Chains A and B, each alone.
Chain A
């Protein structure tokens, strides 16, 4: 078996945690510390504790004679037809955040949106979601949002605002001054139509699109190679071999939800499928995608261009075409070329770097491999990113020159995320008239003279076309909470049109989309159906002759080959898969979601390679200074290429509400503008160690693998020989314990997690947090290992620390049939149900934490403080993220108890959903159907890695999966008989003994 290790300290010392000077305090000492305000000198002892007990008895006596408060029951005056109190309604809609898109269902209770689920009718996202999609529901209740139209800092009415802006626009129009409308990529057909009408009314307005993480080079390369600008539609599920040069397609590249789904679909080994794709990743930092790759080759960012050129050249050679003279082509590249050539038409090569020459060569490779038309196609496109980097550069120049007299900005934050943010800020200040149409204050919008606040997407109507002819509707789940108006209505108002944007969309659809389809004889039927499903996906046939035609490839290759080799230190900035571009920095759920690979939350940090750390005597937590003046804490990341470092964007917001403000450091300025596009890596960076130390909040170091077979894995070859490969230690004993195994007369609920599908993205964690009212604890408490997540994703490294294999394993309560927690509870607050659930009863729990101590999986969480305001004693409140204010409490799920201080909580396998599913079946007089009940984590998972079902139902999918040879239980040697099982991870490698 492979030796797995979890942190570098563990690998070096054999034990995981470094010794600490201060011994941890005992239980009682910690409690008494609270009363002594942490004053270490004051001595608390047993007598004080007894006195406290006496007080509590006296207080309870007084409370016992109190009266109940009078509760009111207020019915609707006129009940909306569709609302049934106590039952949830689901509205098909779409999630949009810049270039992120997801087709969703908004779950509302009594008219209040409380949860987002994936829409499985969509053939773009297939019912999957991402962590940010799940967390966006909390953004609706964000207190930092604009609540009124503003002029400077003063509230004004919409009428006043409209009047002064229309007046200004007309003046500017008459004097023919230049005006700019700055937006992110608009891929909504109706919004585009609105903007075009706006541009027509004010011909002096120029529309500029800006994507902070643009795919500018990709778009241009396609234009140059095929005469059609845009981003290809990739099909990772059709590819047998995937080669990625630094494209984090499972993390943040183009459409992670869709690509995770495609990628894992191809790699599932259930239903007798043995044709798994092979994934080879070239990258410098250990990304989410890289950690899922079968082979990962750490390279410096500057080396990529040459490798791509060599690969192209080798493929040309294999094809027997005229090749170029390139030296030093390594054996690996030759092998890779051979493998790709053997799989031509079934392979896919992608690159993430925003570099034109790399993207052109990648197009060349895919073309020569005859992949166009199978694994990617240019006639169907991803439309979520269309901005060209040079437009923004031009805008900055124009702003600086003072040519632009007015600036309208919507949904972008260039002051924060543009690489010349500071310059942009100064340029905005120079513009005489500026209007922001943002939803929430940002570094950019706070500099504008007027604010015309936009709605949250859950309050808005819209239509979208994220991919060619894949239409999607956005419908609101609630009326606007504040005095806001959606962007499109505002533009319509300013051109003197009716502001009813819904009507506008309907007209647009009737005119443009209704004629495409043939299923509905009238528009109302078509519209209602599209709205109900949230999507409209007409079948269109396009004829496009994909012909690669480009002169000057030779020149391009020469340039790459002759470029001077950099030997120095290289730095790359990236979007972390949890935080993304920082638009959601004020979302505490996202802040507290640990990065899948480093397991750090509430911060960004500089990742360096272990070798580098050894040379520079760096330790995790040391602060280093870059030569650009930015100070960052260091995290030693196994797998980081030597002489490179990486740091995440999206942190260091300075104007975004209290949660995300000044968390981490803004590193946007570390990107560069080269060859007409933004480049994320830079050469010639120097780092110097400082004396400072910084504490990073990690959720990783608390759980060690201790040499046990927790993640079981094998190579595909081994698996094909023996499906039980890697799972040799699996053995099932019936009654080996002293307690009799319970029997389950009706249902026996179980979960199975396919480790081969799980990519570690963390959508399940946030879905669970939203569904089960899991509190936010803040950075300090995470450092004290008090995080509350019910489902965590453990990450294990194995093999060499310079290029380790990575395994992800979601761990939730295992619902053991022989549960160690149940028999140590002194008050029977955790018991077993006849349906196989390990029940946790908060109102019975007295907080001894014996169960948590006795749980071998460490999935039980203790409420050290009152995180939720469920406690009646105000001093206990611990709320770092405003989660207990009334507005944010709107997001709470009314079907799950909000826990108070001093009780244990844990995964309930979404018992509220089980109960609901059973009840629905009973009302219909039938058994629950397999797949009808879904846990929150399962619903959210874009990879379909989690399957819930009835283990007593022999036809269910969960039984099908668990009866396979890959099935095993976590720590099965201690005979806890879990109801949750795992399927071994299979890597498409020759051997699995790295």
Chain B
């Protein structure tokens, strides 16, 4: 049993030794590798490279034309760009002919594209280069990279600090004042514990989670701009556990006519039409998600409890990109159950039961009945 323990130790040491350069390498610019001597030789023969230069506006063609990349971002960005990303375009045109690509690019139909694509004169050859660059881009970036802060580095740095403090305290004794290593130990260890606790509590929670979605759907445009009620799309919120992610055919109720958006032009709306035509599904990234052992019902809260959607989901009608506002933790649920008063009179279920509570209400012993008072904190209401 002692051998794996030692092995684990060795692993930590190895990790500490080699992790900084390894992490550095990840963050390094990928073009750094491309400018290697071996690749340099083929540089001007490579159509992808030519396409890249064209796309990024590095080849001079005409001074008054903005480069593609200034609108169509190549890498993942965390600010909203209504224009389709390079990847999006690659996905759409990968299997289309050059002529089609050209017709969309050079003679745009939508208003938005007309404004930006005015005066484009790419030759077929150049378009071919751009297209092959896009295809390569799509193959290279199968997975979208995501920015992340690696807590582990800090954690292990603190660990090393603690080790050094302890070694000095007991063995080397280089520091004159003993309170310094003790202080270092206490602070570092305390911070580590704090990190652990935070990390453990946040496990499985996604407050402020706002990933890029496959379609740049804006709740702001639909709910505020066009004044569409939440339940028009989330149809089952009043009758079922699930509020329902609108099925694609439902989008077509309006988008059969509305073919162009104010921000994104035709590109995003075309994705819905394409999904319907090709019989492919739209894979949204799920944001609000409770663990499997929690059984939450929209019908109970939105219909029976008459809660507003925004109480849990935040000001969705103001969001261009949907975001999880609350942490959806159990403590957050219970806080609301403690505070919220139940409408005890209008629903027959409540008005015809709970004799004792009704008497107390009438006698003025209590001023209102909160969810907690009728079992809102009990485990088996949500866990079974």
Interface positions of A (Cβ within 8 A of B): 44, 47-48, 51, 54-55, 58, 60-65, 67-68, 70-79, 84-87, 745-747, 831, 833-835, 837, 839-844, 895-898, 908, 911-912, 915, 918-919, 921-928
Q: Which residues of B contact A898 (CB under 8 A)?
A: 292
Q: Give chain B's interface residue range (CB within 8 Å of chain A).
A: 35 or more
Q: Which residues of A contact B384 (CB under 8 A)?
A: 839, 895-897, 908, 911-912, 915
Q: In this assembly, does B282 line the interface, its C-beta being within 8 Å of a C-beta of chain A? A: yes
Q: Which residues of B contact A926 (CB under 8 A)?
A: 348-349, 352
Say whether chain A's binding surface is mostly helix, strand, loop, or mixed. Answer: loop
Task: Give, as a whole number of angstroms, the nearest-CB distance from A742 to chain B.
Answer: 12
5 shortest interchain CB distances as A-B pairs: A64-B199, A86-B241, A839-B380, A86-B240, A86-B242
- Within the assembled complex, what's the spacing in Å between the Cα atoms of A908 and B378? 14
CB pair B248 A746 closer than 8 Å: no
Q: Which residues of A contact B282 (CB under 8 A)?
A: 74-75, 77
Q: In this assembly, does B177 line the interface, its C-beta being within 8 Å of a C-beta of chain A? A: no
Q: Which residues of A contact B229 (CB under 8 A)?
A: none
CB pair A51 B283 closer than 8 Å: no
Task: Give, as a whole number of angstroms, the nearest-CB distance from B103 to chain A.
Answer: 28
Closest Cβ neighbor of B240 among chain A residues: A86
CB pair B247 A922 closer than 8 Å: no
Q: Which residues of B contact A915 (CB under 8 A)?
A: 295, 297, 381, 384
Closest Cβ neighbor of B278 among chain A residues: A77
Closest Cβ neighbor of B384 among chain A residues: A911
- Within the assembled complex, what's the spacing in Å between the Cα atoms of A60 and B242? 32
Say whether chain B's binding surface is mostly helix, strand, loop, or mixed. Answer: loop
Q: In this assembly, does B26 line the interface, its C-beta being within 8 Å of a C-beta of chain A? A: no
Q: Mark B342-354, 1 if CB is under 8 A from A, else 0.
A: 0000111110111
Q: Which residues of A contact B299 (CB under 8 A)?
A: 919, 923
Not counting A65-B152, A68-B204, A915-B381, a sample of 5 additional A-B residue pairs whose C-beta atoms are within 8 angstroms of each other reads A71-B289, A745-B356, A833-B375, A843-B293, A919-B299
Task: Give, as a whole number of angstroms, the nearest-CB distance from B299 to chain A.
Answer: 6
Contacts A79-B249, A745-B357: A73 and B383 contacting too (C-beta < 8 A)?
Answer: no
Q: In this assembly, does B246 line the interface, its C-beta being within 8 Å of a C-beta of chain A? A: yes
Q: Which residues of A contact B281 (CB under 8 A)?
A: 74-75, 77
Q: Which residues of A contact B289 (CB under 8 A)?
A: 71
Q: Which residues of A contact B218 (CB under 8 A)?
A: none
Q: Which residues of B contact A835 (CB under 8 A)?
A: 375
CB pair A72 B383 closer than 8 Å: no
CB pair A927 B352 closer than 8 Å: yes
Q: Which residues of A contact B283 (CB under 8 A)?
A: 72-74
CB pair B375 A834 closer than 8 Å: yes
Q: Which residues of B contact A47 (CB under 8 A)?
A: 1
- Within the assembled complex, what's the spacing in Å between the Cα atoms of A835 and B354? 12
CB pair A87 B375 closer than 8 Å: no
- Within the assembled complex, what's the spacing in Å between the Cα atoms of A837 and B381? 11
CB pair A833 B379 closer than 8 Å: yes
A-B contact pairs, 22 of them (CB 8 A): A47-B1, A64-B200, A71-B285, A73-B284, A75-B247, A76-B247, A84-B244, A85-B244, A86-B236, A87-B239, A745-B374, A746-B354, A747-B353, A842-B383, A896-B384, A912-B295, A915-B297, A919-B297, A921-B349, A923-B238, A926-B352, A927-B348
Task: Give, as a whole number of angstroms, the nearest-CB distance from A468 to chain B.
Answer: 42
Q: Which residues of B contact A918 (CB under 8 A)?
A: 349
Q: In this assembly, does B23 line the interface, its C-beta being within 8 Å of a C-beta of chain A? A: no
- Within the assembled complex, what's the spacing in Å between the Cα atoms of A62 and B56? 40
Q: In this assembly, does B303 line the interface, its C-beta being within 8 Å of a C-beta of chain A? A: yes
Q: Which residues of A contact B286 (CB under 8 A)?
A: 70-73
User: Of residues 257 to 300 in B, which have CB atoms within 8 Å of A's CB atoms?
Assistant: 275-276, 279-286, 289, 291-293, 295, 297, 299-300
Contacts A745-B374, A926-B349, A927-B348: A78 and B247 contacting too (C-beta < 8 A)?
Answer: yes
CB pair B1 A843 closer than 8 Å: no
Q: In this assembly, does B206 line the interface, its C-beta being within 8 Å of a C-beta of chain A? A: yes
- Within the assembled complex, what's the spacing in Å between the Cα atoms of A897 and B378? 17
- Within the assembled complex, what's the spacing in Å between the Cα atoms of A918 and B380? 13
Q: Which residues of A contact B24 (CB under 8 A)?
A: none
CB pair A61 B247 closer than 8 Å: no
Contacts A68-B204, A79-B247, A843-B291: A85 and B379 contacting too (C-beta < 8 A)?
Answer: no
Task: Give, as a whole number of angstroms, the nearest-CB distance from A819 to chain B.
Answer: 13
Contacts A78-B249, A895-B295, A912-B295: A925 and B379 contacting too (C-beta < 8 A)?
Answer: no
- Within the assembled complex, what's the spacing in Å between the Cα atoms of A840 and B384? 7
Contacts A71-B285, A87-B239, A908-B380: A78 and B248 contacting too (C-beta < 8 A)?
Answer: yes
Q: Which residues of A contact B239 (CB under 8 A)?
A: 84, 87, 923
Count of CB-CB pairs between chains A and B under 8 Å: 177
Counting chain B CB atoms within 10 Å of each CB, the highest count among A64, A843, A897, A924 belongs to: A64
Closest Cβ neighbor of B151 among chain A residues: A65
CB pair B249 A841 closer than 8 Å: no
Q: In this assembly, does B227 line the interface, its C-beta being within 8 Å of a C-beta of chain A? A: no
Q: Which residues of A contact B155 (CB under 8 A)?
A: 61, 65
User: Of residues 123 to 143 in B, which have CB atoms within 8 Å of A's CB atoms?
Assistant: none
Contacts A71-B286, A919-B300, A927-B349: A839 and B199 contacting too (C-beta < 8 A)?
Answer: no
CB pair A746 B375 closer than 8 Å: yes
User: Of residues 206 to 264 in B, which have CB atoms within 8 Å of A's CB atoms?
Assistant: 206, 211, 236, 238-242, 244-250
- Within the assembled complex, what's the spacing in Å between the Cα atoms of A698 and B238? 49
CB pair B236 A85 closer than 8 Å: yes
- Within the assembled complex, what's the spacing in Å between the Cα atoms of A391 and B244? 58
Q: In this assembly, does B186 line the interface, its C-beta being within 8 Å of a C-beta of chain A? A: no
CB pair A55 B349 closer than 8 Å: no
Q: In this assembly, does B118 line the interface, its C-beta being within 8 Å of a C-beta of chain A? A: no
Q: In this assembly, does B8 line the interface, its C-beta being within 8 Å of a C-beta of chain A? A: yes
Q: In this assembly, does B304 line the interface, its C-beta being within 8 Å of a C-beta of chain A? A: yes
Q: Which residues of B contact A63 (CB under 8 A)?
A: 203
Of A58, A62, A72, which is within 8 A of B284 by CB? A72
- Within the assembled complex, what's the spacing in Å between the Cα atoms of A253 and B216? 64
Q: In this assembly, does B41 line the interface, its C-beta being within 8 Å of a C-beta of chain A? A: no
Q: In this assembly, does B196 line the interface, its C-beta being within 8 Å of a C-beta of chain A? A: yes
Q: In this assembly, does B40 line the interface, its C-beta being within 8 Å of a C-beta of chain A? A: no
Closest Cβ neighbor of B356 among chain A residues: A745
Task: Give, as a whole number of angstroms, the nearest-CB distance from A71 to chain B.
Answer: 4
CB pair A839 B378 closer than 8 Å: yes
Closest Cβ neighbor of B153 among chain A residues: A65
User: Of residues 352 to 373 in B, which have CB atoms within 8 Å of A's CB atoms?
Assistant: 352-357
CB pair A85 B242 closer than 8 Å: yes
- Within the assembled complex, what's the spacing in Å between the Cα atoms of A79 and B236? 12
Q: Which residues of A contact B275 (CB under 8 A)?
A: 77
- Within the assembled complex, what's the spacing in Å between the Cα atoms of A54 and B6? 12
CB pair A75 B245 closer than 8 Å: yes
Of B150, B248, B349, B383, which is within 8 A of A76 by CB? B248
Q: Which residues of A contact B300 (CB under 8 A)?
A: 919, 922
Q: Which residues of A contact B1 (CB under 8 A)?
A: 44, 47-48, 51
Q: In this assembly, does B148 line the interface, its C-beta being within 8 Å of a C-beta of chain A? A: yes
- Within the assembled complex, what's the spacing in Å between the Cα atoms of A833 and B376? 10
- Within the assembled complex, what's the spacing in Å between the Cα atoms of A68 and B206? 8
Closest Cβ neighbor of A909 among chain B residues: B380
Q: Which residues of B contact A922 (CB under 8 A)?
A: 300, 304, 347, 349-350
Of B148, B150, B293, which is within 8 A of A842 by CB? B293
Q: Which residues of B contact A73 (CB under 8 A)?
A: 245, 283-286
- Within the assembled complex, what's the spacing in Å between the Cα atoms of A467 and B341? 57
Task: Give, as a whole number of angstroms, the nearest-CB distance from B293 to chain A.
Answer: 4
- Within the assembled complex, what's the spacing in Å between the Cα atoms of A746 and B282? 45
Q: In this assembly, does B5 line the interface, its C-beta being within 8 Å of a C-beta of chain A? A: yes
CB pair A925 B348 closer than 8 Å: yes
- Within the assembled complex, what's the spacing in Å between the Cα atoms of A58 and B204? 18
- Within the assembled complex, what's the spacing in Å between the Cα atoms of A924 and B349? 8
Of B150, B279, B292, B380, which is within 8 A of A837 by CB? B380
CB pair A75 B347 closer than 8 Å: no
Q: Mark B166-198, 1 if CB is under 8 A from A, else 0.
A: 000000000000000000000000000000100
User: Of residues 297 to 351 in B, which have CB atoms within 8 Å of A's CB atoms?
Assistant: 297, 299-300, 303-304, 346-350
CB pair A841 B295 closer than 8 Å: no
Q: Which residues of B contact A61 (CB under 8 A)?
A: 155, 196, 199
CB pair A925 B349 closer than 8 Å: yes
